[in-house]
Amino acid sequence: MLTRGLAGSLLVLLGGLVVSTLPASSPVLDADALVALRAHPAGRMLGLTVVLTGLGLLAASWLRLCRRVALPHGESTADRLALVRHACVVWSAPLVLAPPLFSRDGWSYAAQGALAHLGLSPYDHGPSVLSGPVVEAVDPMWLDTPAPYGPLPLALGDLAAAHTGNPWVLVVAHRGVALVGLLLLAWAVPRLARWSGVDPALASAVVLVSPLMLANGVGGLHNDLLMVGLMAAALVVAAEHGWAAGAVLGGLAAAVKVPGGLVCLGVVLVGLPAAAGALERVRRAAAVAGVAVGTLVGLGAVTGLGLGWVAALGVPGTVSTPLSTTTLVGGALDRVAGLVGLGPGPLDLVDVLRTAGTLAALLLGVWALLRRPAGDRASAVATVALVVGATVVLSPVVHLWYFLWAAPFLAVLRLDRLGMVALLAASTVLGLVAPLDSSLHGAYLAIVLGCLLVAALLPVLLLTRRARARLGRIAQASPARTPAGGAGIASVAQPAAGATVPRTSPSVIRPPLVDGAE
């Protein structure tokens, strides 16, 4: 199991060197064999095949790990957590030195950090004002656009750029920042799972080493991984150390990307008494918002980056993505209206639906603040999962890595059988299709080949009799060790009034167990 996953990760690394965009000055391009593969369509298709084969091996190993953890055969929670964390280290290790996979955002991060180091605000200038290797692999679409990120990743990029101008080294540094988010999740997820009575080891397996996480979080090194790690930590800290400390971490999550601030809803609810009324909720929300915004503004002042990110928040919305429900439906309505000669101008309905989706997500957040249960930890996690999930679904722009926002909070809920199977299947699919996202930019042959390979892999992983039986065993075991009486996002197990939530001592990482038979 561990060896198969490691082999898959190595294949993703090797194939990624062929299919990923690299700076022209990269030393790896001195290898004639690599240059020859990258120069010919057949070589690039071979690279894509290797990548998808590697992702398939990772997905198969992950599902086997989830089954092993879900059916422990007497192993302690600490041993199973140790196995999951060991797998996370082993399977992530080959990807640490990889170029940005399945997206060129990592090269943009390197250039934005270099801008900040040179005293040029990434909120006022695009990477095009730079020259040299650091901009050679930046996506032309983003060369002249300001950074839409908060001051935290830009300040860390500035720190890395103070030590090197090598874009690949800078990318590795940014992947290290993303891995900080993974470490925070490794710490927070078991604690969040215990709040709902969910097996901490299984929840950790679902979050930390899924194809979604390894392909988009570790391989893609997106800022979203640091953001969601801070969000999960904010909830735990708010419950265990007070709402003010949680609000600081919520502000830091927003200082990565603004949606990270959504966790402040959970920070508000988790610290209130169960009988809190609307006025008390609003007062606490104002206090939490004050601390979070103060953290965000203060970080901008300390780093010298200021509040320029506010004006750049519209940058991601300049592109259309097929995963955005509002964009997809609005575009279809525009085309239908144009065909029958009844509709407004092109894209008008897209804009209307995008705006309506954003407003609906905001209204859902207000409703959750006023109506969701207060004073209950499990319910606070469910509220964050609900609001964050709705925000992703209704967002005007949705990339594959946006689903990282909701996955940790869904995995720690007492999902019913169908919900757990859906989460496992979605994490598998969203990991396997990672190479087919924006990185291909109209390479239709690669898209067709990739789709065929994914179509061949998914039935093996999810639809065969053996695969369905494995998914069923994982899903059936998920709530098996929890108290009876609740399932699903709207029905989380509630502790009795005045009851003390049992705590388990922190797990110590131990040597991994020997792989069991399938």
Residues 29-62: tens digit of each pLDDT? 889 899 999 888 888 889 999 999 999 999 999 9
d(CA 403, CA 215): 12
d(CA 29, CA 24): 7
Give 325-354 as a DSSP string.
HHHHHHHHHHHHHHHHT-S-STTHHHHHHH
31 lies in a domain? yes
- Which pair of structure tokens corresponds to residue 269? 């609810």
244 lies in a domain? yes
422 lies in a domain? yes
d(CA 59, CA 457): 10
What pLDDT does residue 513 have? 35
Write phi, then psi, for 464 (nearest 5 degrees).
Answer: -70, 165
410 lies in a domain? yes
CB neighbours (10 Å) of residue 495? 16
**Could you tell me the residue range of the domain that residue 28 belongs to?**
2-477
User: How many distinct structural domains can be found in the chain?
Assistant: 1
Give 222-257 as a DSSP string.
-HHHHHHHHHHHHHHHHHHH-HHHHHHHHHHHHTT-
Please list the ranges in the chain whose pLDDT falls under 50: 480-518
What pLDDT does residue 311 have? 79
66 lies in a domain? yes
What pLDDT does residue 73 have? 76
d(CA 507, CA 451): 41
340 lies in a domain? yes
Q: To 5 degrees, how large is the angle CA 183–CA 424–CA 229?
A: 20
CB neighbours (10 Å) of residue 458? 18
Tokens 């709040």: give the residue. Answer: 195
What pLDDT does residue 409 have? 97
> What is the crossing angle of helices 167-196 and 77-92, to 10°?
160
- Which pair of structure tokens corresponds to residue 38? 């990258």
Buried residues in 247-271 as b, exposed as e (16+ CB within 10 A): bbbbbbbbbbbbbbbbbbbbbbbbb
The DSSP call for residue 402 is: G
Q: Answer yes or no: are the C-beta atoms of 82 and 509 closer than 8 Å.
A: yes
Write phi, then psi, for 495 (nearest 5 degrees).
Answer: -70, 150
258 lies in a domain? yes
What pLDDT does residue 411 have? 95
